[in-house]
Amino acid sequence: MVVAIDIRLLGKKRTGDEAVFFHLTKELLQLDTPDISYELLTDETDATKIATLYARLRCIGKSTVTIVSLPTKNRFTWNAIALPKYLAHHRVDILHTQYILPFFVPKRTKIVTHIHDISFRVYPELIGLSDRFFLSILIPRSLRRATRILTPSQFTKNEIIQYYGIDEEKITVIPNGIGEEFLHDFSNELEKGKEIQKKYHLPDAFILSVGTLQPRKNIPFLITAFSKLKKRLPNIKLVIVGKRDAHHIDMNIDKVIKERQLEDDVVFPGFIETNDLPSLINLSKVFVFPSLYEGFGIPLLEAMSQNVPVASSDIPSLREVGGDAVTYFNPRNVASCEEVLYTLCTDNQVRLRLEKAGKDTIKRFSWKESALLLVRLYQSIK
């Protein structure tokens, strides 16, 4: 069986979806599956960067793994020309991609499409008009054409069924996990912590938020709640990790910071290197995830791995991941968020309870187990 996986995201400094494809692919390639050969498809053409991909995915010298470079000008030409041309001239039994399928796929090729969430369908007003138009056309086509649809949570599966009328038998849930860099607890590594604090110019006491800065992430709401919290805890700061020059950033973030006069209290450290993120999380007082909509919630698990109490918006997908190891707030009620943050900053008994519950929760999520489920899915497709 020849399985082709679209790995264009790797190395693009994306957050959630890049992490999913990286960890899932890497664990997949470590499994003993002599009946499957993998072709990893990328638009990267630089030989050094391709060599780096082989190393990062730990597949150097593996005869069953090949990274295939398909040069293309943009995402449109990839789906319209580069990938269809490759599929037409090479035997591929299964193509594993995400969201948008190539414009042409041979009948012999089965499709597994990865849908992390459908926020664009549930909250169309939070994305650009052109994105909304193309997704309204291309996503239904992708879901109909796919042999199997892969989602990270039961919540996302239910959403796809509700909004697109897809047969539930066609959808498989394979949970996300946390990267191996988070399997080490940095709580007692004080020197490492000081190094990270200095490197990213971090304050001494801070609440941390990590993720994209898109409107659905609800960051202006968080900043407003933080401004209320400052009146009770004047020494606390808010650190927000996210790409400020990314596509479709929430333009209200800077506006709220200015209105609330928080220029010295809200810190943006910029891009954080993957290996530094666990230590940075470990330094925080509380980890907060205020999103209006998510398909899963990897950051909750990452914070739990570093014994940091988690405050999360009370939405079904995050409840599915966090269970009783998280304290939840209404993501549309500022007072609710402020009170949860205050409790987690000041109540040691609550913090200890969440720390214990978090250790149990993260045991349920493993990229290796998810890769095993994915292999079984490939092998079940006829």
Residues 210 and 287: their CA atoms lie apart, in Å, by 8
Pairing of strands 94-98, 2-6: parallel
Cβ neighbours for 196, distance < 8 A, ≥ 6 positions apart: 202, 276, 279, 280, 283
Are 94 and 381 in contact by the 8 Å Cβ rule? The answer is: yes
Q: What's the mean pLDDT in 106-124?
A: 93
3-state SS, 87-140, equals: HHHCCCCEEEEECCCCCCCCCCCEEEEECCCCHHHHCHHHCCHHHHHHHHHHHH
Per-residue confidence (pLDDT) for residue 14, from 0 to 100: 59
Q: What's the mean pLDDT in 108-118?
A: 95
Per-residue confidence (pLDDT) for residue 309, from 0 to 100: 97
Are 61 and 85 in contact by the 8 Å Cβ rule? The answer is: no
DSSP helix/strand/coil, 203 = coil
Per-residue confidence (pLDDT) for residue 134, from 0 to 100: 84
- Burial of 24 from C-beta contacts in 10 A (0-12 / 13-18 / 19+): buried
Please give the residue that has the higher pLDDT: either 322 or 275.
322
Please give the residue that has the higher pLDDT: either 135 or 324.
324
Residues 132 and 247: their CA atoms lie apart, in Å, by 14
Please give the residue that has the higher pLDDT: either 270 or 113.
113
Question: What are the two backbone dihedrals, phi and then psi, of residue 270, each rounded to the nearest 5 degrees?
Answer: 85, -165
Superfamily in which the 2-177+366-380 domain is placed by CATH: Glycogen Phosphorylase B; (3.40.50.2000)
Q: What's the mean pLDDT in 109-119?
A: 95
Question: What CATH class has 180-362?
Answer: alpha beta
DSSP helix/strand/coil, 5 = strand
What confidence tier does 15 reach under pLDDT thresholds 50, 70, 90? low
Per-residue confidence (pLDDT) for residue 139, from 0 to 100: 93
Q: What's the mean pLDDT in 214-237?
A: 96
DSSP secondary-structure letter at 3? E
Q: What's the mean pLDDT in 253-262?
A: 95
DSSP helix/strand/coil, 144 = helix
* Domains 2-177+366-380 and 180-362 belong to one CATH topology: yes
Per-residue confidence (pLDDT) for residue 274, from 0 to 100: 84
Q: What's the mean pLDDT in 77-85?
A: 92
Per-residue confidence (pLDDT) for residue 26, from 0 to 100: 95
Per-residue confidence (pLDDT) for residue 250, from 0 to 100: 87
- Burial of 197 from C-beta contacts in 10 A (0-12 / 13-18 / 19+): middle
Residues 358 and 344: their CA atoms lie apart, in Å, by 14
Residue with tokens 């493993």: 366
Residues 300-356: tens digit of each pLDDT: 999 999 999 999 999 999 999 999 999 999 999 999 999 999 999 999 999 999 999
Query: Is the pLDDT score of 74 beyond 80?
Result: yes
Per-residue confidence (pLDDT) for residue 13, from 0 to 100: 63
Query: Is the pLDDT score of 16 beyond 80?
Result: no
DSSP helix/strand/coil, 65 = strand
Per-residue confidence (pLDDT) for residue 9, from 0 to 100: 87
Cβ neighbours for 242, distance < 8 A, ≥ 6 positions apart: 15, 209, 210, 211, 212, 213, 217, 219, 268
* Percent of the chain at pLDDT exceeding 70: 99
Supply angle C-alpha 195, 225, 353, rounded to 5.
Answer: 65
Per-residue confidence (pLDDT) for residue 290, from 0 to 100: 97
Q: What's the mean pLDDT in 165-182?
A: 94
Domain assignments of the chain as residue spans, ordered by start? 2-177+366-380, 180-362
Are 86 and 2 in contact by the 8 Å Cβ rule? The answer is: no
Are 372 and 257 in contact by the 8 Å Cβ rule? The answer is: no
> Does the reported pTM lie above 0.85?
yes
* Percent of the chain at pLDDT exceeding 90: 79
